[in-house]
Amino acid sequence: MNPQTPLGSTSTTAEVPHGRRAVEPVLMDTSEVATLLNMSTSWVYKEASKLGLKGYKLGRGRNAKVLYKKTEVFKWLEQQKIH
């Protein structure tokens, strides 16, 4: 704990043990993609793959999740730029 931080308060930065790095998530779920693109989750499910944004389905049936690689989402978004 930082000696300057009062007891009971939390730090705004993630505290990581010495010698370790915080791991950046590689995948985003559909709601995170929808928020990033300012679209609805139903739009992401229906339209994204038609437009070239491919998801990865994990699981089966109703409990399956569709996840997207962050790098692919940002690459796809960059391709949508109007020149």
> Residue 16 has which token pair?
């990581």
Kindly report, residue by residue over 23-53, the tens digit of the pLDDT.
778 999 999 999 999 999 999 999 988 988 8
0.85 surpassed by pTM: no
- Work out the burial of residue 70: count CB atoms within 10 Å of its CB; fewer than 13 is exposed, 13-18 middle, 19 or more buried: middle
Cα→Cα distances 32→10, 21, 37, 41, 53, Å:
26, 23, 9, 9, 14
Q: How far apart are the first and last CA of the chain?
A: 49
What does the domain layout of the chain look like in residue ranges? 27-79
